[in-house]
Amino acid sequence: MEFDLRRAKQSDVESLLELRIELLQEVGNIKNQEEMERVRSANKMYYEKHLNNGDYISFVAESQGKIIGTCGLILIMRPPYLLNLLGIDAYITNVYTIPNYRGMGIATALMDNCIEFAKSNNVGRIILNASTDGKSVYEKRGFILRKSAMELVLNG
């Protein structure tokens, strides 16, 4: 099956929303219609704002005019450190392929696009949270598991 890769644009917001909702439902983050509507509304505002101002870069895989996969990249500016003297990190998020299209190299191709974008924009480090299904894709790209990450949920 052939597919094309490209950077997402504002006209892709509805498709990005659908894939985002599917991903969150698949991982058990959305449990009912009310949660879905709240998350959809919040993501719509996010995409409309951040796709335009360049805070969020998304690549999509498209086949026969339909978006079948996506991968997002958030650039993070932080104080420089020895291994990243420009202080530019990236966070990869929202890596998702529609189930019927999995196993065709789509997520790998999308990840490669994100990595190349990061390299060409002087990113010193890329971080992500890996699902069990996606772990091998990331490891093949050189990602390593770190056990030092922590989080504090403030409004969950």
Q: Can you read off the two tokens belonging to residue 133?
A: 């299904």
Considering the domain boundaries, does residue 135 fall inside one? Answer: yes
Q: Half-sphere exposure (CA, 13 Å, Cβ side) for 59?
A: 22
Least confident interval from 18-22, 41-45, 127-131: 127-131
Helix intervals (H) in 73-134:
106-120
The answer as to whether 123 is a domain residue is: yes
Q: Point out which residues pair with 60 in neighbouring strands.
A: 6, 70
- Asked if residue 151 is part of any domain, the answer here is no
Supply the range of the domain harboring residue 79: 4-140
Q: Determine the pLDDT at residue 156.
A: 60
The CATH code of the domain that includes 91 is: 3.40.630.30
What is the number of structural domains in the chain?
1
154 domain-assigned? no
Among 3-17, 20-34, 67-81, 136-150, where is mean pLDDT lowest? Answer: 136-150
